[in-house]
Amino acid sequence: MPQPHLPYEEIDRLGESIYQTKLRALLETPENIGRLVSIDVETGDYEVGDDLLASGKRIHERHPNALLYGVRIGYNAVYAVGGMLERTSK
79 in any annotated domain:
no
88 in any annotated domain:
no
89 in any annotated domain:
no
By C-alpha distance, which of 36, 35, 37, 41 is closest to 68? 41
Long-range contacts of range 48-51, CB-CB < 8 Å, 24 or more positions apart?
48/73
Domain of residue 38 covers 8-72
Q: What secondary structure does DSSP assign to 25-90, as a single string?
A: HHH-STTTTT-EEEEETTT--EEEES-HHHHHHHHHHH-TT--EEEEETTBS-S--SSS---BPP-
What is the number of domains present in the chain? Answer: 1
48 in any annotated domain:
yes
Digit-by-digit pLDDT tens for the chain (90 residues) are 455 689 999 999 999 999 999 999 999 999 999 999 999 999 999 999 999 999 999 999 999 999 999 999 998 766 555 555 566 655
Record the pTM: 0.83
**Which pLDDT score, from 0 to 100, does residue 1 have?**
47
**Which pLDDT score, from 0 to 100, does residue 21 have?**
97
